[in-house]
Amino acid sequence: TLGFGMTTPATVAGKVFLIIYGLFGCAGTILFFNLFLERIISLLAFIMKACHERQLRRSGLLPPNFRRGPAMSGVGSLVGWKPSVYHVMLILGIFAITLSCCASAMYTAVEGWNYIDSLYYCFVTFSTIGFGDLVSSQNAAYQNQGLYRFGNFIFILMGVCCIYSLFNVISIVIKQVLNWVLKKFKCRCCPKCHKSSARLGRRNAITPGARLRRHNISMDADGQYDSDTEGRRLSGEMISMRELTASNKVSLAILQKQLSETANGYPRNVCINTRQNGFSAGVGALAIMNNRLAETSDSR
């Protein structure tokens, strides 16, 4: 995907071969870059976790004879620990700069470019922009030409892999920054918009406390309704999951019944013998599927 353009196919057969070969070659290259990204992130996470464990030992939070294994689950300081994406970005950035500086030194000595042009060539090449204004290995002869081309190949391969990994990590950081900015400025300049959206949410949703006060729903120990008409909402209304789950008085049985009625468009009589048929209860799509399976089992 560099596309320098100094060597191109001239015949029709060569162009057709390039299209077919490039289809699989580019796909395989992207797969290779993704695998490299997984391995380099795993390696960095392993190294950073080892450094974190050493820091915990020095601070006295871990015993000196601590070893990785089942005992790790008992250490609160390491449970769920993950490396920071900013630290990973910093390490990849340092590695990319170091690799570019080493490659630029080689291009300056062999190609005769100045150091700034060599750095520019490294970025354009490693980022797969490939303008083609500067291309290596284009002179007629070099000293130790085979060794230079091999070193050029290694630098380009490692540079592209490293910059590809760095771009992926930077994209994650940019997404986090944008989400933070949008969260800070969400409807801050227009309070009326926020009020109208809240009003629409209240109109389309059921408030569990008000529903319980109006209908005075009573349930037995098994969580079933005394009356099948109590606690039922209109089929055209939407349920606010946040309001439903926020109320301590609304049980999962009510939520399961309302979601089942929403999916089918009309009130349904949920089978009472669900647990007897071996289908466990659930919430959302799982609850709807369990109801269907339970009714099918009863009909058979």
- What residue numbers bound the domain in which 155 lies? 12-59+84-188
What confidence tier does 291 reach under pLDDT thresholds 50, 70, 90? low
State mean pLDDT over 136-140.
Answer: 90
User: What confidence tens digit (pLDDT) does each residue in 47-63 have?
Assistant: 988 888 888 888 877 76
Sign of torsion, CA 125 130 135 138? positive
State mean pLDDT over 32-44.
Answer: 91
Q: Please, which residues have CB within 8 angstroms of residue 16's CB and are 6 or more apart in sequence?
A: none
Where does residue 9 fall: left (phi above 0), alpha (psi -120 to 50 degrees), or beta otherwise? beta
pLDDT at residue number 197: 55
Helix axis angle, 145-184 relative to 12-59, nearest 10°? 70
In a domain, 273, yes or no: no
What confidence tier does 254 reach under pLDDT thresholds 50, 70, 90? low
In a domain, 51, yes or no: yes
Per-residue three-class SS string for the chain: CCCCCCCCCCCHHHHHHHHHHHHHHHHHHHHHHHHHHHHHHHHHHHHHHHHHHHHHHHHCCCCCCCCCCHHHHHCCCCCCCCCCHHHHHHHHHHHHHHHHHHHHHHHHHHHCCCHHHHHHHHHHHHCCCCCCCCCCCCCCCCCCHHHHHHHHHHHHHHHHHHHHHHHHHHHHHHHHHHHHHHHHCCCCCCHHHHHHHHHHHHHHCCCHHHHHHHHCCCECCCCCECCCCCCCCCCCCCCCHHHHHHCCCCCHHHHHHHHHHHHHCCCCCCCCCCHHHCCCCCCCHHHHHHHHHHHHHHHC
In a domain, 228, yes or no: no
d(CA 48, CA 84): 9
In a domain, 168, yes or no: yes
pLDDT at residue number 246: 56
In a domain, 97, yes or no: yes
pLDDT at residue number 262: 63
pLDDT greater than 60 at residue 3: yes
pLDDT greater than 70 at residue 191: no
Enumerate the β-bridge partners of residue 225: 219
In a domain, 266, yes or no: no
The mean pLDDT value of the chain amounts to: 74
pLDDT at residue number 267: 55
Q: How many domains in the chain?
A: 1
pLDDT greater than 70 at residue 168: yes
In a domain, 34, yes or no: yes
Mean pLDDT check: name the lowest of 137-151, 167-181, 269-283. Answer: 269-283
CATH value at residue 117: 1.10.287.70
User: What confidence tens digit (pLDDT) does each residue in 75-102 have?
Assistant: 445 566 778 889 999 999 999 999 999 9
Higher pLDDT, 210 or 279: 210
User: What confidence tens digit (pLDDT) does each residue in 276-290 have?
Assistant: 444 444 444 445 445
In a domain, 251, yes or no: no
Percent of the chain residues past pLDDT 70, beyond the cut:
56
- 184 residue type, one letter: K
pLDDT at residue number 229: 45
Mean pLDDT check: name the lowest of 9-23, 42-56, 91-105, 266-280. Answer: 266-280
The answer to pTM > 0.85 is: no
pLDDT at residue number 255: 59
